[in-house]
Homo-oligomer: A and B are copies of this chain.
Amino acid sequence: MKVVAITGKQACEIVDRADPRIKGDFVKVAIRSAPMCTEVSEYRNGSIGDSLGHEAAGEVVEIAQPGQVAVGDRVVVMPLYGCGKCRLCLSGEHIHCEHGVDPYQFCGSQTGRATYAQFCIKQDWLLVPIPEDISYDHASMACCGLGPTFNAMQQMAVNALDTVLVSGLGAVGLGAVVNARCRGARVIALESNEYRAALAKKLGVEAVVDPRDEHRLERIMELTGGCGADKSVETSSADTAPAFLIQATRRKGQIASVGWGGPMMAREIVGKGLTIHGTWHWNHFRDTQAMLQTIRQSRAMLDQVITHTFPMREVKKAWELQMTGACGKIILHPWD
Contact = CB atoms under 8 A, between A and B. Distances in A.
Contact of A266 (B65, B92, B264): B264
A265 to B, nearest CB: 5
A108 interface: no
A66 B101 CA distance: 15
Contacts of A64: 65
A275 to B, nearest CB: 5
Given A23-B66, A66-B25, A266-B264, A161 B290 contact: yes
A93 B252 contact: yes
Interface string A259-285: 111111111111111111111100001
A216 interface: no
A286 interface: yes
B275 A266 contact: no
A146 B64 CA distance: 37
Interface string A192-224: 000000000000000000000000000000000
Copies of this chain per assembly: 4
Give the most central of A85, A157, A159, A258: most B CB within 10 Å.
A159
A155 interface: yes
Given A160-B183, A161-B183, A263 B260 contact: no
Contacts of A271: 260, 278, 280
Interface in A64-103: 64-68, 84-85, 87-88, 90-93, 95-96, 98
A268 B257 CA distance: 10
A247 to B, nearest CB: 13
Interface of A: 23-25, 64-68, 84-85, 87-88, 90-93, 95-96, 98, 125, 129, 155, 157, 159-161, 182-184, 227, 234, 242, 251-252, 257-280, 285-286, 288-290, 293-294, 297
